Structure 1
Amino acid sequence: MRYVTITDLSPEDVLDRAKSFFGEHSRLQVHEETDASVTFAGEIGLARFAVDRAGGHTNVRVETDRVVGLDVTDLAKRFLYTLRNAHGG
């Protein structure tokens, strides 16, 4: 599944929040990380978050290897929902 959203948070803040969220809410581990992306992997699937800054906001793209169900896709959607009301500091 693929999802896209935008936020006022910085790309770095989005990735830090993703690592914190997945660390707290899942057993997924950071599988790969760059300055502009983080990939989580585990028994329930794989999720890759990629970010970039454009037009005064941060584009957040996530791709998972599963369809919606009690798995990584649901967690990814829950995380994106947390960004809706988040504001950069």
Structure 2
Amino acid sequence: MSCNTTPFDYRPMTRVVYGPNAIERIGSLTAELRAGKVLVVTDPGIVKAGHLDRVRESLEASTLEVFVFQDVVENPTTKEVYECAEFAREK
């Protein structure tokens, strides 16, 4: 499996949102970026804890189309990264 990408240099400005129920703001914060589709990449533990449901509810309340890749394993290999990238391309 190959990953055809164009080299780039990315220097993000990080924004940290902290506080009680901050997770419930993720939809409105993401909508500020003018996103239409959102890919949430997570692991089964986060899903089991119920955090994915809260994130999805917030995103969908902001009319964002949500896709979830929840098969992340600890210390993922290149194979798992490619699987996630392929999942994203299909969406």
Q: Which has the higher helix share?
A: 2
Q: Which has the higher strand share?
A: 1
Report the TM-score, using the length of structure 2 for normalisation: 0.26
